[in-house]
A and B are shown apart, each in its own frame.
Chain A
């Protein structure tokens, strides 16, 4: 094992307590890694595609999750093996970057590993395999670029977007009403999208779910839904043209941060203190009333007395609203949202530090800066302002909303607050209903995927055709390119082409078709007609022309899949020594 000798022949120890560690080296290590990577891919393989099956996961606390989403499955799987953890990371990074195709990326990585195993058995060095994969992935990505199509849509023509979202949703349990959900997702994305800059801030879209009702009841609300109700049962349940004061200070006497004591030693002091205390509440409520607020939303609780005073003065209030929701409300009810490129903004900051203040309507406004790294843009929400102290409450700091109403559900006293027709309609909420908790959770995940896809198209309107057609086309291109490479890499490149086939193969398998037959038929069709629209006909429509079936995927999503999968496989192949503590 890891025992070395110095020039005098004395042994010295490299690894501490090595008898307690297991160690795998060389080809054994690679093979063990490959087989565990494959095992993870095998779990997800059956979830791929519109006819993919779901997985039922039971968490350590006994909660049940039923899902089809690769990232969610892997996340909750309680994985112990190191390589399996790498695969989990892989799917997670696809989820963060693209939001969709989390299953596909793992299946592809699994295919690549499987092919690599064969090459290793033939005595090809892992590094050469890795290099061959790298070259092949470049060819594939270029090929994707070549076969991609630009895709026109506009605010009036959302049909193409809806179609793409439907492709994503069709593999989920919600495919019963994929049409309506896809429309909701697209409308939501368009509502917050900045079409000129081609960017979408998904944080402005909130996906809320509530158990009960049916899937068809899902709705898009141009506003915010908060799972809270009015603080006093007798406050009005519906407010039109609300002016909202958003507070982060409690309706309680102030608690200065510095330690202090108020000592009472005479009756007079006791009485003044009492008067003072009552005045506090009175002042607070009066302040809100004075600036013309018709609704108070507060992050903290209210004292009983304050609550009654609010009710008394006919000022409805909501308490214990979470920080994230509060920000969303502030953004939604505010006036405008300005976006700058980061560079421009920094210039602004340095050059016109003073004039910047004037630029935004005056002095003491609280801004929200939201930096989007991927597009290098800073969003400045000069919005409804969160007010940290009562003294700073002014009329222009109030948010505005056309309608605020409380809605109750079912037979229990569940109530939610809808804030609609906001001044800044750029924050929207998708409200999902479903027969049980698992359905609601799964629907939320599916809607999230659809949102991501819509966003990706807005960012980059290139698409490729789905149903495995893109993979088949890449496979053909890579195969053809392989012969041009001298050296051992050629084999690796060919293996890469075979691995790409694993996705259409899994699709066909899951749809109950003969995988090898179907795949070879489609492949020959693509080559014969030099046409890359042909894919696997999963839904048994009768044609395998994906253009007719309207099955699209985003170009960046596909490219990312191939690149990420290749990277991880390269990483796994380069490992030749695994040292881990033994269990016992």
Chain B
């Protein structure tokens, strides 16, 4: 009697070797996809969306590439997920983590083919990952005490991160921007308070950091264009007719004159609200919601600059920058904290008018204005800058720093290799494989730069046998160089996250011996 179907229609099941093969291949395909973007000479990818408009994105950022892919292979989804988490958690290294996981699986596939049980490989990988982490911990540098040095560390990290992106031409300029912006945050990791405004036109070099705050809004007609020593009230309140919020209330009148009366009452109410706001003694009023024509006119009469419809983030930032609070009621003018700034004026960037707040009280937020030739360039620049900012803000909290340029991988590989030699049993094959996977990263970096990777990596390995070596790949000159002198640094936190998540993901995929796919949910055709 043959086994009946156990599963529903279209659901299927893959077992044992086939399942493993399917997940290996899927994961490696994903890794190969982003492999060529790794390193300073990595290439970009064009992504075209299937949605309306067929929007095009040109990017080098692993997380962005993977996010936009439609993937069916479950193992590949695991990799996409780790890259996303890496992006959320530390911001950079999104490509490296996928590539490393891919390499680990590639090595694992060979071991499985050589009849080593996946569980043995996993335990070997675990030991190796632990050992690699310790190796990094031994070599890490911490310059938290020395502010000057710390800043130069940050500078180096920013430049290293940016060097693999579109901004690499002006990396010094942008690194400075990023470091400046992050240091302003004073240790908070809330990148929300760094605003990035993109304006097409000009060149990337024209981008600048503004200490004050720029709001992408226009000043109301007839209102002052320039205010010195501004007192700012930041609000979130309805400035239309101000609906009555009591449930079930409605107006029922019996004659036209009554309608007029109610209308006047409404107007009065609005006027009163405006009066209350004016009574705060402000000369600038920023509201998150719309300001209708009538109140706007009243504000203009009082010589107050009223800005409507500032988006929520803008309001929060403005509150942060100016030190005011976000108000919604206006009955007690004496206790509402007002924001202050030295000067509000309208400025022009490119062809757009923006409102610029300068001389603000608290310097916690700032604005970076990006200029560039096209939207694609700007979008990519924003992503790159975001990566740099993320890494920097994480480094400010965890100030441990490593050298870059393939140096950490070689350090780890060396220690892991030694561990492999000491470990008895089949596990040592797995540990050895782990070190090979680590070495694959500098190899790929060199390959992407069109260099002779075999030669360079061999040289690098020889160099690393010496104690206290600081050799890494110098992609620019195409040789093995001293990365400490070249000023290539990376954040320890990023490297650690790459190592641990890649191992975890590889382990997870290795443990699978069966894939069960449910029937895709039927979408009803609503058309």
Contact = CB atoms under 8 A, between A and B. Distances in A.
Interface of A: 28, 31-32, 35-36, 38-40, 43, 46, 51, 53-62, 64, 66, 68, 73, 76-81, 84, 173, 176, 211-215, 232-234, 252-256, 259-267, 270-271, 273-274, 276-278, 280-281, 303-305, 307-309, 311-312, 408-414, 434-439, 512
B500 A211 contact: no
B519 A78 contact: yes
Interface of B: 1-9, 11, 13, 19, 23, 72, 74-75, 77-78, 81-82, 85, 87-91, 117-120, 126, 189-192, 236-238, 244-254, 258, 261-262, 264-266, 269, 316, 319, 325-329, 331-332, 335-336, 390, 393-394, 500-501, 504-505, 507-508, 511-521
B342 to A, nearest CB: 22
A44 B505 CA distance: 22
Given A262-B250, A311-B325, A413-B192, 17 more contacts: A35-B4, A55-B515, A57-B518, A64-B77, A64-B78, A77-B516, A78-B518, A79-B7, A211-B85, A233-B319, A234-B319, A253-B247, A277-B246, A308-B327, A412-B88, A436-B501, A438-B81
Contact of B512 (A38, A55, A264, A274): A55
A212 B87 CA distance: 10
A308 B78 contact: no
Nearest to B71: A62
Nearest to B90: A411
A40 B82 CA distance: 31
B89 A51 contact: no
B262 A270 contact: yes
Contact of A265 (B82, B236, B244, B252): B252
Nearest to B521: A60
A273 B246 contact: yes
A58 B74 contact: yes
B113 to A, nearest CB: 16
B8 A439 contact: no
Contact of A254 (B7, B247, B262, B336): B247
Contacts of B515: 55-58
B512 A312 contact: no
17 contacts: A28-B1, A32-B1, A39-B3, A43-B516, A53-B514, A62-B520, A173-B508, A213-B89, A255-B247, A261-B249, A273-B246, A308-B326, A408-B190, A411-B191, A435-B85, A436-B505, A438-B78
B521 to A, nearest CB: 4
A55 B265 contact: no
A539 to B, nearest CB: 10
Contacts of A260: 248
A395 to B, nearest CB: 25
Given A55-B516, A311-B325, A262 B245 contact: no
Contacts of A414: 88
Contacts of B13: 43
Contacts of A408: 189-190
A145 to B, nearest CB: 34
B109 to A, nearest CB: 16
Contacts of B246: 253, 262, 273, 276-277, 280
Nearest to A35: B3
B390 A265 contact: no
A56 B74 contact: yes
The residue in B2, B7, B328, B517 that gathers the most chain A C-beta atoms within 10 A of its C-beta is: B328
The prevalent SS among residues of A at the interface is: mixed
A437 B81 contact: yes
Given A234-B326, A435-B85, A35 B189 contact: no
Given A43-B514, A211-B85, A263-B250, A411 B504 contact: no
B81 A39 contact: no
Contacts of B90: 410-411
Contacts of A28: 1
A173 B254 CA distance: 74
A124 B325 CA distance: 84
A60 B520 contact: yes
B277 to A, nearest CB: 13
In the A-B complex, list the 4 residue pairs whose CB atoms are closest, starting with the nearest: A308-B328, A53-B513, A60-B521, A435-B501
B514 A439 contact: no
A312 B335 contact: yes
B119 to A, nearest CB: 5
Contacts of A412: 88
A141 B81 CA distance: 46
B355 to A, nearest CB: 21
B242 to A, nearest CB: 8
Nearest to A442: B508
A254 B249 CA distance: 12
Contacts of A212: 85, 88-89
B74 A267 contact: no
Nearest to B331: A278
Given A265-B252, A512-B119, A252 B245 contact: yes
B245 A303 contact: yes
Contacts of B74: 56, 58, 64
B140 to A, nearest CB: 17
B507 A173 contact: yes
Nearest to A76: B518
B4 A32 contact: yes
Nearest to A309: B329
A273 B513 contact: no
A308 B236 contact: yes
The residue in A40, A78, A80 that gathers the most chain B C-beta atoms within 10 A of its C-beta is: A78
The residue in A76, A77, A260 that gathers the most chain B C-beta atoms within 10 A of its C-beta is: A77
A276 B91 CA distance: 50
Given A81-B4, A233-B319, A271-B265, A439 B520 contact: no
B336 A312 contact: yes
B512 A214 contact: no
The residue in B91, B513, B521 that gathers the most chain A C-beta atoms within 10 A of its C-beta is: B513
Nearest to A510: B119
Contacts of A411: 87-91, 189, 191, 390, 393-394
A56 B19 contact: yes
A263 B316 CA distance: 38
B248 A53 contact: no
B328 A265 contact: no
Contact of A53 (B75, B261, B512): B512
Contacts of B23: 56
Nearest to A307: B328
A214 B130 CA distance: 13
Contact of B119 (A51, A233, A308): A51
A55 B81 contact: no
Contact of B500 (A39, A214, A232, A512): A214
Given A28-B1, A411-B91, A176 B518 contact: no
Nearest to A255: B247
B35 to A, nearest CB: 20
A278 B269 CA distance: 13
B1 A80 contact: no
Contacts of A173: 507-508, 511
A278 B330 CA distance: 11
Contacts of A278: 329, 331
Contact of A58 (B126, B265, B518): B518
A58 B250 contact: no
A271 B249 CA distance: 13
A281 to B, nearest CB: 8
Given A56-B19, A78-B519, A267 B261 contact: yes
B289 to A, nearest CB: 9
Given A55-B515, A436-B78, A273 B326 contact: no
Contact of A304 (B5, B236, B265): B236
Contacts of A66: 78, 508, 511-512
A78 B514 contact: no
A410 B491 CA distance: 15
Contacts of B5: 80-81
A103 to B, nearest CB: 13
A56 B514 contact: yes
Contacts of A259: 248
